[in-house]
């Protein structure tokens, strides 16, 4: 890698958020029907993630609220932590159900299992259409080539992965950006001071999974702020 590529930014910028939202809007849902959208919500539940997990519990309900306007959303929570611990819930159709499952999780020390998340997402998408995967994490302790190999099939299944990185680990950033690119998704960074921004971006992905670009544009018109900036950068429908 060149010296310039090693000089990674240390915090999320307005331009990065705009780029993330543009990427969300550029993903074309394949095989959309009148059924609910399906979003796999994957999170790192190792010890370092406990504060961020609590924040995610507080804001997750708004994903369902906004997605309901766009046709509804089913969410599967997937997480890893501790010694080889990996769990996935059934597909949940309400905010209360998701919150109950999230509140029962206890973060525990362990290494990352992102490859396992990717392979699980592939299995779920082969069973039934998955509109998007959201992943929230802060580090990567696995071989990046193996992760890329596991991410590739999601692109073939038209399952974009939207990756949110907490913190500024440069190794994790390179891996997360590559995974997002390979799956046709998008990458964005956040930190403890940007919980509101994370809320808005999660809502954007959930609304898009449920109702596509038109639903996302409608959310921008109604809400303004971070999401409304998207409407100024979108081109016309093709």
Q: Who has greater pLDDT, 114 or 12?
A: 114
Percent of the chain with pLDDT over 90: 45
pLDDT reading at 101 higher than 60 = yes
Asked if residue 200 is part of any domain, the answer here is yes
Domain-located, residue 195: yes
Structural domain includes residue 238: no
Number of structural domains (the chain) is 1
The stretches of the chain forming alpha helices (DSSP H) are 3-6, 14-26, 50-59, 61-69, 95-104, 114-127, 144-156, 170-183, 195-223, 225-231
pLDDT at 6 over 50: no
Q: Is residue 149 part of a domain?
A: yes
* For residue 5, pLDDT beyond 50: no
Q: How confident is the model at residue 49 (pLDDT cuts 50, 70, 90)?
A: confident
Residue 57: inside a domain:
yes
Tracing tokens 């990458």 back to the chain, one arrives at 187
Domain annotation covers residue 111: yes
Structural domain contains residue 14 = no
pLDDT tens per residue across span 121-168: 999 999 999 999 999 999 999 999 999 999 999 999 999 899 999 888
In the 3-class helix/strand/coil scheme, how is 9-57 assigned residue by residue?
A: CCCCCHHHHHHHHHHHHHCCCCCCCCCCEEEEEEEECCHHHHHHHHHHH
pLDDT at 16 over 70: no
Tell if the pTM clears 0.85, that is, is over it. Answer: no
In order of 6, 52, 93, 202, 228, the CA distances from 65 in angstroms are 40, 21, 11, 12, 18
Write down the pLDDT at residue 120.
Answer: 98
Where residue 124 sits, what CATH number does that domain have? 3.40.50.410
Whether residue 21 lies inside any domain: the answer is: no
In the predicted structure, residue 118 carries a pLDDT above the cut 50: yes
Residue-range definition of the domain harbouring residue 93: 39-231
Q: What is the pLDDT at residue 14? A: 62
Q: What is the pLDDT of residue 34?
A: 57
- Which phi and psi (to 5°) does residue 39 adopt? -125, 120
Q: Which of 209, 228, 210 is nearest to 218 (CA)?
A: 228
């Amino acid at each position: 890698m060149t010296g310039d590529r090693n000089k990674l930014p240390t915090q999320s910028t307005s331009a990065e958020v705009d780029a993330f939202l543009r990427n969300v809007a550029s993903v074309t849902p394949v095989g959309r029907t009148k059924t609910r959208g399906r979003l796999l919500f994957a999170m790192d539940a190792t010890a370092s993630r406990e504060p961020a997990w609590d924040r995610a519990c507080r804001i997750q309900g708004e994903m369902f609220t906004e997605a309901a306007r766009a046709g509804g959303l089913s969410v599967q929570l997937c997480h890893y932590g501790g010694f080889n611990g990996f769990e996935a819930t059934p597909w949940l159709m309400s905010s209360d159900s998701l919150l109950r499952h999230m509140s029962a999780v206890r973060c525990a020390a362990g290494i990352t299992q992102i490859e396992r998340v990717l392979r699980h997402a592939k299995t779920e998408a082969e069973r039934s259409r998955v509109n998007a995967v959201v992943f929230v994490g802060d580090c990567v302790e696995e071989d990046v080539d193996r992760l890329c190999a596991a991410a590739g099939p999601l692109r073939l299944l038209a399952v974009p992965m939207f990756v949110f990185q907490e913190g500024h680990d440069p190794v994790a950033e390179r891996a997360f950006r590559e995974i997002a690119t390979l799956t046709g998704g998008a990458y964005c960074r956040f930190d403890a001071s940007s919980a509101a921004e994370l809320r808005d971006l999660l809502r954007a992905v959930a609304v898009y999974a449920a109702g596509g670009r038109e639903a996302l544009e409608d959310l921008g018109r109604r809400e303004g702020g971070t999401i409304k900036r998207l409407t100024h950068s979108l081109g016309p429908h093709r």
